[in-house]
Amino acid sequence: MDGSSSPVSAFKSRGGVARIFKALGYSLSGLAAAFRFESAFRQELLLIAVVVGLALVAKLPAIEWVMLVLSMGFVLVTELLNSALEAVVDRVSLERHPLSGRAKDIASAAVLISMGCLAFTFIVLVLPRLAVVLGLLK
């Protein structure tokens, strides 16, 4: 299949340097929309702010910061994808349908897994160092 018969969206970018700036604008609009319309996204940002604050107190080494930041990014990415999927499903139909529910539940499960990964990273990397800094452990 050579793809020549595939329809091309009128919204599809044609490329070039201008595309990079347009893509950045779309991405920033997406982040603003997530912040404005998605309470879970705002709650996760608040959670991340707390995690960062505690990690600063714990004085993590650079490699552990990398792992922590990747875990936090994983949470935000999965939440953004979950929110996007929910918006598309709701755009298609607001009627209850088992497949719509399944799609939303599976996307929500992805967020749960990412939150579990962040919790694990926090427990393994931050809590022990935080306990030492606070004098709870020697």
Catalytically active residues are: 79
Count the neighbouring beta carbons within 10 Å of the beta carbon of residue 46.
Answer: 10
The per-type count for the chain, helices as H runs and strands as E runs, is 5, 0
> What is the SS3 assignment for 22?
helix
Concatenate the DSSP letters of all residues of 69-117 into one string. Answer: HHHHHHHHHHHHHHHHHHHHHHHH--S--HHHHHHHHHHHHHHHHHHHH
